[in-house]
Structure 1
Amino acid sequence: MPASLKWLGVLFAAAVLAAMAAGGIMFAQGRTRTRIMADQVSDGSNRAGREAMAAYGCGSCHVIPGIAGATGQVGPDLGKVAVRATIAGKFPNDPATMARWLRHPQAMIPGSAMPEQGVTERDARDMTAYLYTLK
């Protein structure tokens, strides 16, 4: 094989590796932006929300990406909940409505399968922040 073709192969491999590295950096930056924006729109902390969702046992009814053991099949899968148009198929998906739904689902839809869990206002904002990272 001519030396020029070997160098071309090396350059191609280097370009592929550089593109992969740049893609990884862009992905990480996008996730960081998503987390910051979720915290800002919800007035909560997505990190605290992740912990609160585990503490309230949300994963016993829902599949929730990023929450260990959250494999429930009773409620909807919450992956990509941030990009859904509605909450519970009925309410606009905005931070205030999400937090209200997490706190008082039975007041919003009496008889709903979503139980009252005694979620505090702070925990609801934090949980909303976490859910808004799930795109």
Structure 2
Amino acid sequence: MNRGIRGRLALLLALPSLLTASGCASTGPPPPPEVRTGQPDRGAALIAQYGCGSCHTIPGIDRADGLVGPPLTRFGSRSYIAGKLVNNADNLRHWISDPQAVEPGTAMPDLGVSALDAQDIAAYLYTLD
């Protein structure tokens, strides 16, 4: 085989790798880490107790089919919380426990969620990916 053909063949064989490598650079941020100190099962019960499903659709929660707030499906794969905060455990706990401090006037009410409850609710939400 002459050098020109070998060079083209090598380029064709390398092309898929080059395309894959360049595509990785343009992906969004990785999903947020789990809340390792939270209890997802308790968080699911708290979501029902606080009535979060009256505003949100939340997989795995009975009667959580609200249409006021955004659906929380695949929450663990999202990049932002409320379009404002980077989606990480600290920001989510802050948003859940005091949404009005994060975004005054937001439709998300302050439900008086304690820090411990917010941690467990966040732990459950991060299971949704």
Which range, TM-score by smaller chain? Answer: 0.7 to 0.9
Q: Does the alignment pair 1:134 with 2:128?
A: yes
In the alignment, the residues of structure 2 paired with residue 97 and residue 38 of structure 1 have an alpha-carbon distance, to the nearest angstrom, of 13
Corresponding residue for residue 103 of structure 2: 109
Could you tell me which of 55, 59, 73 is aligned with 2:49? 55
- Per residue, is there more helix in 1 or in 2? 1
What is the CA distance between 1:39 and its match in structure 2? 4.5
Alignment of 1:41-120 (within 5 A): 43-120=37-114
Q: Does the alignment pair 1:38 with 2:38?
A: no
Provide TM-score, normalisation by structure 2.
Answer: 0.73
Provide TM-score, normalisation by structure 1.
Answer: 0.70
Structure 2: 5+ residue stretches without partners: 1-32
Corresponding residue for residue 27 of structure 2: none
In the alignment, the residues of structure 2 paired with residue 92 and residue 81 of structure 1 have an alpha-carbon distance, to the nearest angstrom, of 12
- Identity within the alignment, %: 47
In the alignment, the residues of structure 2 paired with residue 113 and residue 50 of structure 1 have an alpha-carbon distance, to the nearest angstrom, of 22
What is the CA distance between 1:38 and its match in structure 2? 3.1
- Alignment RMSD: 1.0
Residue aligned with 1:129, SS: helix
Q: What is the count of residue pairs matched by the alignment?
A: 97
